[in-house]
Amino acid sequence: MNLAAATNESLAEMSNVLVYSAMAVYTLAFLAHIAEWVLGSRSKVGRTAAALTAAGPAPAQVRVQVAQRGGGTAVLAKPPKVVTRSAAGARDVPDGPGAAGGDEKGDLYGRIAVSLTTLAFLVAAAGVVARALSVQRAPWGNMYEFSLTFSTVAVGAYLGFLVARKNVRWMGLPLVTTVLLDLGIATTWLYTESDQLVPALHSYWLWIHVSTAIFCGAVFYLGAVATLLYLFRDAYENTLARGGTPSGFARSVLERLPAAASLDKFAYRVNAAVFPLWTFTIIAGAIWAGDAWGRYWGWDAKEVWSFITWVAYAAYLHARATAGWKGRKAAYVALIAFACWLFNYYGVNIFVNSLHSYAGV
């Protein structure tokens, strides 16, 4: 059987066209996000400042939440309200109003940006599928395909959060920007003609191991973006709490982000949720390596860096449970952990000679 003959040139061609189209649409989404930020009002600026200076370091404030359940049919009286308050010592500031800042025009651009991002995501996903069909295998045989899938999954996860009505719209601009960057790098430097896999990659473990690896990376990425913004926002809130005056940039941009506590919580949830899957990815990789190379673990560069990434995320989870390490320090650990993931993906393939490098740069 001549597998090479199976490669369908026109499908590969189509995939390329789709990827370029997706980049064009992402660019439009990028511009719409810029418009959202620029036109978004700053009228809500000062909410954080007001909350922080009014309450000062006093005990946390009380928030009122209406119980979401309507109660049984028999209940005529209104159900009791649940009052929540943050733990003692935690700063309790309201989330920022978002990029549009409550401005209608800004919000309109924001919605346009999200729609465009959705469209670009669909086009890019079609590009990935076309690529997969053209090579008749999982589209993760080399770094080009990996990058393509990675950014598509990251955007998919972001849209998934939006659909689940999570407060993540603030992530739109940084995400679309980096996705454009990723696709740009993929198409200019990493491009590889569509082709079959070398025999060592021929295994159903490719589907399992690589798909989870990409998914973990994409979601870890969202966590890293949140962590980075948390650091900025936290510094901003600290300045305010100390009674200082933050820079104009902080006042106009950081003010619109969710509260540092919310960003931190989001990042933690995302990282914690993905960590077991990352553990699984490494174990699946080890099982595959056992079949392919005759040893489960051989301290190959890729294995080493997966391990380092894993230990770094474990350290992050530990840091959050360790007095004196919560907050900013834990956030630095999380960023280091993600940097390890990135290095494992780009660095190892490019700089280090690894058994895995046959996957093609």
Partner 1 sequence: MSKTETTERDMAAAGAQLSTAPKEELIQAGGPTLGVIGWIRWFWRQLTSMRVALILLFLLSLGAIPGSLIPQNSADELKVRSFKEAHETLAPIYDKLQLFDVYSSVWFSAIYILLFISLIGCIIPRTWQFVGQLRGRPPAAPKRLTRLPAYTTWRTGSAPEDVREAALALLRKRRFRAHPAGDAVAAEKGYLREVGNLVFHIALIVMLVAFAMGQLFKSEGGKLIVEGDGFSNTLTQYDDFRSGSLFSTDELAPFSFTLNQFTGTYETSGPQRGTPRTFEADVTYSRPDGGKKRSVIRVNEPLEIDGSKVYLLSHGYAPVVTVKDGKGKVVYHGAVPLLPIDNNVTSTGVIKVMDGYRDKTGKKQQLGFPAFFVPTYAGKGKGQMFSQFPGLAFPALNLSAYHGDLRVDGGLPQNVYQLDTSKMKPFKGAGGDIFKKTLLPGETMTLPEGAGSITFEKEIKEWASFQISQQPGNGLALAGAIAAIAGLVGSLFIQRRRVWVRAVRGDDGVTVVEMAGLGRSESAKLPEELADLAVTLHSVAPTAPEAEEADQAVEADQAVEADEVPAEGAQK
Closest separation between CB of residue 197 and partner 1, Å?
8
What is the helix (H) or strand (E) element at residue 65, kind and residue range?
strand 62-65
- How many other C-beta atoms are found inside a 10 Å radius of the C-beta of residue 143? 23
Distance (Å, whole) CA 61 – CA 296? 53
DSSP 30-43: HHHHHHHHHHS--T
**With CB cut-offs between 5 and 8 Å by kind, which of partner 1, ligand HEM, none does residue 2 bind?**
partner 1
Q: Return the exposure string of 149-181: e unless at least 16 CB atoms fall within 10 Å of the residue's CB, then b.
A: bbbbbbbbbbbebbeeeeebbbbbbebbeebbe
Closest separation between CB of residue 356 and ligand HEM, Å?
23
**Residue 139 is encoded by which pair of tokens?**
């589209």
Residues numbered 316-335 forming contacts with ligand HEM, rule: CB under 6 A: 317-318, 321
Residue whose Cβ sits closest to ligand HEM: 321
Looking up tokens 């709490």, which residue turns up?
241
Phi, psi of 85 (to 5 degrees): -145, 150
327 φψ region: left (φ > 0), alpha (ψ -120 to 50), beta (else): left
Determine the interface stretch with ligand HEM among 94-102, 142-150, 206-214, 310-318 (rule: CB under 6 A). Answer: 310-318
Nearer to partner 1, 154 or 197 (CB): 197
**Contact, 291 vs 199, CB < 8 A?**
no
**How far is residue 83 CA from its own chain's centroid?**
32
Q: How many residues bind ligand HEM (CB under 6 A)?
A: 4
Nearer to partner 1, 37 or 266 (CB): 266
Residues numbered 251-280 forming contacts with ligand HEM, rule: CB under 6 A: none
User: Could you tell me how many helices (H) and strands (E) the chain has, helices first?
Assistant: 12, 2
Q: In sequence order, which residues have a C-beta less than 8 Å from that of residue 34 and are 6 or more positions away?
A: 173
Closest separation between CB of residue 317 and ligand HEM, Å?
4
**With CB cut-offs between 5 and 8 Å by kind, which of partner 1, ligand HEM, none does residue 232 bind?**
none
**With CB cut-offs between 5 and 8 Å by kind, which of partner 1, ligand HEM, none does residue 62 bind?**
partner 1
Please report whether residue 314 would count as binding ligand HEM according to CB under 6 A. yes
Q: 339 by DSSP, 3-state: which?
A: helix
Looking up tokens 């589907």, which residue turns up?
207
**With CB cut-offs between 5 and 8 Å by kind, which of partner 1, ligand HEM, none does residue 58 bind?**
partner 1
**With CB cut-offs between 5 and 8 Å by kind, which of ligand HEM, partner 1, none does residue 163 bind?**
none
**With CB cut-offs between 5 and 8 Å by kind, which of partner 1, ligand HEM, none does residue 82 bind?**
partner 1
Nearer to partner 1, 14 or 277 (CB): 277
**How far is residue 225 CA from its own chain's centroid?**
6
The end-to-end CA distance of the chain, in Å, is 27
The amino acid present at 255, given as its one-letter code, is E
Closest separation between CB of residue 322 and ligand HEM, Å?
8
Closest separation between CB of residue 106 and partner 1, Å?
17
Closest separation between CB of residue 70 and partner 1, Å?
8
Nearer to partner 1, 152 or 271 (CB): 271
**With CB cut-offs between 5 and 8 Å by kind, which of ligand HEM, partner 1, none does residue 16 bind?**
none
Nearer to partner 1, 249 or 297 (CB): 297
Closest separation between CB of residue 31 and ligand HEM, Å?
41
**Which residues contact ligand HEM (rule: CB under 6 A)?**
314, 317-318, 321
